[in-house]
Amino acid sequence: MITKRHRNDRGPTNAGWLNSMHTFSFGHYLDYEHMGFGPLRVINEDRVIPGAGFGTHPHNNMEIISYVLDGALEHKDSMGNGSIIKPGDIQRMSAGTGVTHSEFNHSKSEGVHFLQIWFLPEEGNIEPSYEQKSFAAAEKQGQLKLVMSPDGRDGSVTINQQVDMYAGLFKENETTEFIPRPNTIQWMQIARGQINVNGETIQEGDGLAIKDEEKLVLDNAQNAEVILFDMKV
């Protein structure tokens, strides 16, 4: 079963410096019918104007992933980490017992466009931690590349939850198939472009809640960037 979450049905936030679309209930956007999917709690598509951003604020007991589509995101946290997150990077912060951080558009002249994704942790109150890795476009072209997993296999970023994250880039005539693991559910987010999934056309901003599908066929793409979460239930 595949249930589409249409891009125009997401909840908006427009704060002047921030334009955000919330796939699930978040902040001032309260939506009891869309509180998450399995351990996946937040997918926010954020656009931040030059030089602006989220000031220092706290988190705890959440797995937070940043995925930049355009521009550069500057990160600082109370663990002493400071980094610039660019397209191709996967950044994971385990908030655990508590951490503060800030996120700003690194550029003074160009906007930054990114996805912020939150998962409920498998284990609570762990020591906070941080990890960031870069994956070349060639690794993702025409296929779904594993970029995050609980055991860090195949060079992926680790996460404190039973979820595998894949990222893929697809041009016209590129196709791939994904076979879900037993006892899992999937969420697919279209970050850019357009692609068909099991015969249905989905576009940038759309999400798919997937259960009990034996196979996912991705084809007929138009410069698509796809993120897929394969999650234990």
Encode pLDDT of 131-173 as tens digits.
Answer: 999 999 999 999 999 999 999 999 999 999 999 999 999 999 8
pLDDT at 25: 98
pLDDT at 233: 86
Model pLDDT for residues 185-233, shown as the tens digit of each residue: 999 999 999 999 999 999 999 999 999 999 999 999 999 999 999 999 8
Which residue spans within the chain are E strands per DSSP?
2-5, 11-14, 18-22, 40-48, 53-59, 63-70, 73-77, 82-85, 89-94, 99-105, 112-119, 129-134, 144-149, 157-158, 163-170, 176-178, 184-197, 200-203, 207-211, 216-232
Same domain? For 145 and 94 the reply is no
Q: At 105, which CATH number?
A: 2.60.120.10
When divided into structural domains, the chain yields a total of 2
Q: Whole-model pTM?
A: 0.97
User: What's the chain's length in residues?
Assistant: 233
Q: With H, G, I as helix, E, B as strand and everything else as coil, classify residue 124.
A: coil
Tokens at 229, concatenated: 């979460």
- DSSP state letter for 6: -
Same domain? For 204 and 169 the reply is yes
Domain membership of residue 125 (yes or no) is yes
pLDDT at 204: 98
pLDDT band at 19 (very low <50, low <70, confident <90, very high): very high
